[in-house]
């Protein structure tokens, strides 16, 4: 069956809402999820993605991996932050772009073998339902001004510096299916009991654990959350020693953490 809807899955609530919405409106064999594994997620997130394969009925969720966050940090000699989010670009956007191209071409070839002369979305294209919400940040509100939930857009119209125009020519279109939803609307739609457990532990966003481009308080919360967080802390401090960079970006974060015994233990081994 031809894929009509591709939903990039992060393990977060907004992409989960898109998946549930897509499965309410389309047969499961026309919907597919795509999880870009950064090699830096919490076990709860991996387990949640697995749960999504059956939560709304059986649905295929493919996993792609283009490396991991710490490898990229070593490669570039810096942690992600500000405008240097190589993790998002190389581990999520680029793999998604390649996946979309391959899927559209594969479906187009399959259809064309049966019926010649068709183009655009009929030639193997599909909609990508991205879980972006304007209410998440002023940056996203500005980026998506004028966009609406019920319209489809060429990929380069949504993320102009990231997606090439050839994807639109292959019939790939983007829908921002929950763009104007509030956070509470998303939670109500998904159901509190079906959320990634990290939300219930007080983390407002999930994905990399922690997001190294986030504020220091969230890194501290993640590192102190459980044994896995402590292990992430040790790995990050070790990489920081190798590249000569601190993972802490604020004065307070550095003051609270740079003389941490964990750092001294790891850096001196």
| Residue range 219-251, pLDDT digits in tens | 999 999 999 999 999 999 999 999 999 999 999
When pLDDT is cut at 50, 70 and 90, the band that residue 263 belongs to is: very low
Cα–Cα distance for residue pair 221/223, rounded to 1 Å? 6
Residues written for the chain:
269
pLDDT (average), residues 2-8: 97
Residue 8 · residue 131 · CB < 8 Å: yes
Model confidence pLDDT, tens digit, residues 114-164: 554 444 444 589 999 999 999 988 888 999 999 999 999 999 999 888 898
Nearest Cα to Cα of residue 13 among 152, 198, 249, 173: 198
Structural domains present in the chain: 5-184 (3.40.50.620), 216-269 (no CATH)
Task: Write down the mean pLDDT value for the chain.
Answer: 90
Please compute the mean of the pLDDT values over residues 20-29 and round it to a whole number. Answer: 97
């Amino acid at each position: 069956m031809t894929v009509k809807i591709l939903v990039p899955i992060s393990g977060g609530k907004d992409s989960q809402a898109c998946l549930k919405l897509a499965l309410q409106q389309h047969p499961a064999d026309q919907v597919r999820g795509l999880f870009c594994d950064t090699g830096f997620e919490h076990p709860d997130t991996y387990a949640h993605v697995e749960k999504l394969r059956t939560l709304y009925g059986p649905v295929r969720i493919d996993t792609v991996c283009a490396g991991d966050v710490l490898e990229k940090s070593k490669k570039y000699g810096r942690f992600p932050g500000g405008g240097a989010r190589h993790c998002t670009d190389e581990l999520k956007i680029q793999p998604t772009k390649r996946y979309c191209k391959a899927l559209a071409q594969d479906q187009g070839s399959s259809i064309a073998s049966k019926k010649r002369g068709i183009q655009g979305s009929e030639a193997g294209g599909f909609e990508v339902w991205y879980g972006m919400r304007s209410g998440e940040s002023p940056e996203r509100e500005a980026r998506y001004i004028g966009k609406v939930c019920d319209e489809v857009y060429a990929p380069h119209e949504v993320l102009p510096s990231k997606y090439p125009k050839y994807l639109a020519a292959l019939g790939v279109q983007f829908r921002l299916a929950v763009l104007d939803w509030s956070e509470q609307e998303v939670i109500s739609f998904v159901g509190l009991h079906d959320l990634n457990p990290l939300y219930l532990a007080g983390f407002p966003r999930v994905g990399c654990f922690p997001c190294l481009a986030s504020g220091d308080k969230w890194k501290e919360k993640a590192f102190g959350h459980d044994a896995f967080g402590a292990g992430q802390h040790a790995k990050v401090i070790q990489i920081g020693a190798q590249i000569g960079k601190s993972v802490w970006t604020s004065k307070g974060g550095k003051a609270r953490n740079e003389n941490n015994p964990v750092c001294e233990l790891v850096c001196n081994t």
